[in-house]
Amino acid sequence: MSKKDFENMSPKEIEDYFGVTQEQIEEWDDMLVRGEIPGVSVGEVVVGRPLKFGEHLRLMGFKETEQKIERMDKRADSLGMKRSDYLRWLVDKDLASVDVA
């Protein structure tokens, strides 16, 4: 069916077509907003990157030019890494080279 077909249907016809009522959709939305997913046990939602080795992480960052960021992204991609992983790898490599890691 195309979008035009649905535009010409009544709400009841659309519910019948999909086999779901507006009330069911609203009930599912309420459940999802509360963090309940039918058939899936969900624990507490924790935002952010998981702990590494049980240690808490702190955010750090710096500003850089667009051109340098593009070069970093290209290099990270060539190594099969994301930018953040690439930067972590560089820092780890440098600290290990001076026996600070």
* 72/27 same-domain check: no
Domain that holds residue 13: 1-45
According to DSSP, residue 98 is labeled T
* 39/1 same-domain check: yes
| Tally of structural domains, the chain | 2
Mind listing the pLDDT tens digit of every residue in the chain (101 residues)?
777 787 888 888 888 998 999 899 899 888 888 877 777 666 666 666 666 667 777 888 899 999 999 999 999 999 998 899 899 899 989 999 998 75
* 57/99 same-domain check: yes
* 39/57 same-domain check: no
* Residue 8 C-beta-side C-alpha neighbours within 13 Å: 4
Give the predicted TM-score (pTM) of the model: 0.47
Name residue, tokens 């890494």: 81
Q: Exposed e or buried b for every residue in 12-25, given b needs 16+ CB within 10 A?
A: eeebeeeeeeeeee
* 58/100 same-domain check: yes
